[in-house]
Amino acid sequence: MGKIKVVRCSDAGLDCSFVAHSESEEDLLNQVGKHAKEVHGMEINDELVAKVRSLIHEEEQVS
């Protein structure tokens, strides 16, 4: 079992159950950016990207 990168919306302080998983940081940022815009109406800017990057952590992949 490998590790996978994970970002949880709740880790950003939002009351939201969205979780993004990816092996690629760029893909993860895309997923979270799309979610943040569509669900939370957030603008995707450098500040948001930096925040999302800071929330990325690795977990054991569960198949």
d(CA 30, CA 34): 6
Q: Find the shortest distance in angstroms from Cβ 1 to Zn ion.
A: 27
Do 39 and 12 contact (CB within 8 A), yes or no? no
Q: Find the shortest distance in angstroms from Cβ 17 to Zn ion.
A: 8
Q: Find the shortest distance in angstroms from Cβ 14 to Zn ion.
A: 5
Do 9 and 17 contact (CB within 8 A), yes or no? yes
Residues near Zn ion (CB under 5 A) = 9, 16, 18
49 or 63: whose CB is closer to Zn ion? 49
